[in-house]
């Protein structure tokens, strides 16, 4: 089972939907179990016959073998301090891109002392295997089943097992391709592509993603 903590937001819902459609059992997590259940019911309507449930973040993390972090960056530290025991020995896939929006300036990357949200998560979860991935996949397009995804998912991790699992999950979403982005120290570059894409989206009125060419 895969848990999506903070999975009531668009990115979490979109990834949960696509992976449920690929046959994965999915649980949406939220601080508020009722909100998680509402989100799960919405997704179940979009994808009849799939296994999508909702629970509070702790219950969702406890049930799952692997866990996606799709909370806003500000919520990462308190969430992981609360869940470090239950996440021990699990693969934790960090989708968070720390960003702020300022009127007239668009999106900017937030400075993170650890370098990246993913490295901070690994520090807070020393017994988990953290991978960084999926930051640059459009939530709107994930949620639109009629849309075939395109682009690459750069996967960074210091754990070969976490990198392999994350890459395998990427391949379950048709047309998405995992790219080995090396160690977790490279996650900061991938997280910082997100504000660039958000600003490009605003200029072109699109939902941009990235592809590594030459591969």
Minimum distance, C-beta of residue 166 to its own copies, in the bound complex (Å): 15
Tell me if 94 sits within 8 A of 123, measured CB to CB. no
Rounded to whole angstroms, how far apart are CA atoms 54 and 71? 15
Residue 206 binding its own copies, by CB under 8 A: yes
28 φ, ψ to 5°?
Answer: -85, 130
| List 105, 113, 146, 160, residue binding its own copies (CB under 8 A) | 105
**Nearer of residues 44 and 156 to its own copies, judged by Cβ:** 156
Is 89 in contact with 163 (CB distance < 8 Å)? no
Q: Taking CB under 8 A as the rule, does residue 185 contact its own copies?
A: yes
Size of the site for its own copies (CB under 8 A): 39
What number of other Cβ atoms are within 10 A of residue 34's Cβ? 10
**Contact with its own copies (CB under 8 A): which of 151, 159, 162, 178?**
151
Ramachandran assignment for 134, one of left (phi > 0), alpha (psi -120 to 50 degrees), beta (any other): left
- Binder of its own copies out of 62, 66, 70, 138 (CB under 8 A): 138
143 binding its own copies? (CB under 8 A): no
C-alpha span between 7 and 95 (Å, rounded): 11
* Residue 114 binds its own copies, judged by CB under 8 A: no
Under the criterion CB under 8 A, does residue 118 sit at the interface with its own copies?
no
* Torsion angles phi and psi, residue 115, rounded to 5: 110, -45
- C-beta of 5 vs 107, nearer to its own copies: 107
User: Rule CB under 8 A: is residue 195 a binding residue for its own copies?
Assistant: yes
Query: Cα separation of 21 and 173, whole Å?
Result: 9
Residues that bind its own copies (CB under 8 A): 105-106, 108-109, 138, 141, 150-151, 154, 179-183, 185-186, 188-190, 192-193, 195-197, 199-200, 202-204, 206-215
């Amino acid at each position: 089972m895969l848990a999506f903590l903070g999975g009531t937001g668009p990115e979490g819902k979109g990834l949960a939907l696509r992976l449920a459609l690929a046959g994965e059992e999915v649980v949406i997590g939220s601080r508020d179990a009722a909100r998680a259940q509402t989100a799960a019911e919405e997704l179940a309507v979009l994808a009849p016959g799939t296994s999508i449930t909702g629970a509070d973040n702790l219950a969702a993390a406890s049930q799952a073998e692997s866990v996606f972090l799709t909370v806003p960056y500000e919520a990462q530290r308190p969430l992981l301090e609360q869940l470090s025991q239950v996440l021990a020995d699990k693969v934790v896939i960090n989708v968070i891109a720390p960003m702020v929006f300022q009127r007239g300036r668009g999106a900017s990357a937030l400075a993170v002392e650890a370098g990246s949200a993913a490295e901070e998560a690994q520090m807070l979860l020393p017994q988990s295997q953290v991978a960084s991935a999926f930051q640059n996949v459009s939530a709107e397009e994930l949620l639109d089943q009629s849309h075939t995804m395109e682009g690459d998912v750069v996967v960074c991790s210091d754990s070969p097992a976490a990198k392999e699992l994350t890459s395998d999950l990427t391949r379950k979403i048709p047309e998405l391709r995992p790219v080995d982005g090396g160690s977790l120290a490279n996650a900061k570059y991938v997280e910082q592509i997100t504000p660039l894409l958000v600003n490009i989206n605003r200029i072109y009125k699109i939902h941009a993603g990235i592809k590594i060419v030459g591969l």
